[in-house]
């Protein structure tokens, strides 16, 4: 297998050389991020809601909330545990590649099962497998940044990761508009995109075998439990970064997972029109996220500052959520989407760069500690299904007053 990796290596001190990573790494990392989020966010934002509505129209909100909430718990457990295992992997293929390949293959197979079942129970089980497998893959994917990317490029790479979420949603909405809401292709096409792009990244990156690193025994129970904890007193910057991500990602699943039902129930959009409106919404989102991510990522690298961007981004995102909740027509809804997208784009452009800059034990426990950070992504997805109906009710009351 031929590989063309970045011109950067890790040194024993835990710091990277100042050589830049090459264009192949940057492009394929961006593609893999887009592919991953296309595979996992298209069901979260659109296709799962549509399928659940078809199978259980009366109890769709509760059913979708249960599936997404339980799946988020599996994601919460999987990311730090598999991150710890990735850090300890000593295969001749490297620490990250086995988990990238295994995660995306198992997740893709589970997606196929979910596409062809008409049972809510099977959908729920498949979604838990998908969340587990894809988060095992994600733990390895994000760990390639502290492994290989120097500080002066992390804003750019973080921007690619941040904007990839909304580019993926745009791709997912385009697929939905193309396939319609009754075809299994709305599940299969995002899955194929995720599988192909991650495997391309695996072929391109140089994940050096870890034969020279000290051999470590398989983690015991207490070590696995320790995978879920980084002491915020000892590492306060990491603790603040975790809290800020938790708050931002609390709003994200409320917006994405219940957007379809909000359009149908509050703005009275017909199901047949959902695909076109979601495409417009995600087109606005993608434009705003890509623009704000590139600008803020570039400025953050140039200025060498991260925290100010995070603060402004979070406030902007919160303002957009308020606009959406109280919108009474599509114009107001699209305006709120634009505001949240700008805020989210700025935030994601600098968030990962900030975390990697302050990441404890970067050389030996990068994937595990990034997995702890990703708990801040998963926990809100477990809470949001219970809170979202309350926010939608507030929006309905505001729209009817």
Cβ proximity of 81 and 224 under 8 Å:
yes
**Band of the pLDDT at 364, cuts 50, 70, 90?**
low
Indicate yes or no: pTM above 0.85. no
Determine the average pLDDT of the residues in 321-343: 89
pLDDT at 131 over 60: yes
- Determine the 3-state secondary structure of 395 from DSSP: helix
Cβ proximity of 258 and 388 under 8 Å:
yes
For the chain, first and last CA: distance in Å?
Answer: 64
pLDDT at 122 over 90: yes
Q: How far apart are CA 261 and CA 392, in angstroms?
A: 9
**Band of the pLDDT at 387, cuts 50, 70, 90?**
low
Angle, CA of 118, 383 and 394, to the nearest 5°? 95
Token digits for 133?
């497998």
What pLDDT is recorded for position 107? 95
Domain ranges of the chain: 23-209+221-400
pLDDT at 195 over 50: yes
Q: Tell which residue, 298, 41, 39, 309, has the closest CA to residue 157.
A: 298
pLDDT at 385 over 60: no
Higher pLDDT, 105 or 249: 105
Angle, CA of 384, 386 and 392, to the nearest 5°? 80
What pLDDT is recorded for position 1? 30
How would DSSP label each residue in 290-325?
A: HHHHHHHHHHHHHHT--HHHHHHHHHHHHHHHHHHH
The pLDDT tens digits of the residues spanning 225-241 come to 555 556 667 777 777 77
Reported residue count of the chain is 401
pLDDT, averaged across the chain:
78
Lowest mean pLDDT among 88-97, 124-133, 181-190: 88-97
Neighbours of 101 (CB within 10 A): 16
The pLDDT tens digits of the residues spanning 9-68 come to 333 334 444 577 788 888 999 999 999 999 998 988 788 888 998 898 888 878 888 888
Cβ proximity of 249 and 380 under 8 Å:
yes
The residue with tokens 């950067």 is: 8
Higher pLDDT, 176 or 158: 176
Q: How far apart are CA 288 and CA 295, in angstroms?
A: 11
Q: CATH number of the domain at 23-209+221-400, out of 1.10.3720.10, 1.20.1250.20, 1.10.760.10, 1.20.1260.10?
A: 1.20.1250.20
Q: Classify residue 138 as exposed, middle or buried by CB count within 10 Å of its CB (0-12, 13-18, 19+).
A: buried
Cβ proximity of 118 and 55 under 8 Å:
yes
Sign of the Cα torsion 104, 343, 394, 265 reads negative
């Amino acid at each position: 297998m031929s590989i063309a990796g970045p011109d950067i290596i890790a040194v024993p001190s835990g710091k990277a050389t100042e050589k830049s990573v090459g264009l192949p790494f940057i492009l394929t990392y961006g593609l893999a991020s887009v592919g991953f989020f296309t595979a996992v966010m298209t069901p979260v934002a659109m296709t799962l809601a549509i399928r659940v509505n078809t199978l259980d129209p009366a109890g769709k909100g509760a059913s979708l909330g249960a599936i997404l909430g339980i799946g988020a718990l599996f994601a919460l457990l999987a990311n730090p545990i598999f991150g710890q295992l990735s850090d300890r992997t000593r295969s001749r293929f490297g620490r990250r590649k086995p988990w990238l390949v295994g995660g995306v293959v198992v997740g893709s197979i589970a997606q196929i099962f979910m596409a062809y079942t008409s049972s809510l129970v099977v959908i729920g089980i498949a979604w838990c497998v998908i969340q587990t497998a894809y988060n095992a893959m994600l733990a390895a994917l994000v760990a390639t940044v502290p492994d290989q990317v120097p500080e002066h490029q992390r804003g750019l790479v973080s921007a690619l990761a941040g904007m990839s979420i909304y580019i993926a949603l745009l791709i997912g909405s385009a697929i939905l508009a193309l396939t319609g809401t009754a075809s299994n292709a709305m599940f299969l096409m995002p899955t194929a995109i995720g599988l192909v792009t991650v495997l391309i990244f695996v072929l391109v990156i140089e994940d050096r075998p870890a034969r020279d690193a000290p051999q470590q025994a398989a983690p015991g129970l207490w070590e696995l439990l320790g995978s879920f904890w980084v002491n915020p007193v000892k590492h306060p910057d990491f603790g603040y970064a975790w809290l800020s991500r938790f708050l931002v990602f609390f709003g994200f699943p409320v917006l994405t997972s219940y957007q379809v039902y909000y359009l149908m129930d509050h703005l009275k959009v017909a199901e047949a029109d959902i695909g076109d409106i979601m495409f417009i919404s995600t087109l606005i989102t993608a434009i705003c996220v890509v623009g704000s991510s590139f600008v803020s990522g570039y400025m953050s690298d140039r200025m060498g500052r991260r925290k100010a961007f995070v603060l402004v981004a979070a406030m902007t995102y919160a303002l957009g959520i308020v606009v959406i909740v109280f919108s009474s027509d599509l114009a107001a809804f699209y305006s709120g989407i634009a505001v949240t997208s700008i805020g989210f784009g700025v935030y994601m452009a600098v968030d990962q760069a900030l975390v990697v800059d302050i990441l404890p034990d970067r050389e030996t426990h990068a994937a595990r500690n990034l997995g702890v950070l990703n708990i801040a992504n998963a926990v809100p997805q477990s809470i949001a299904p219970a809170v979202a109906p309350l926010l939608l009710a507030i929006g309905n009351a505001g729209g009817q007053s």
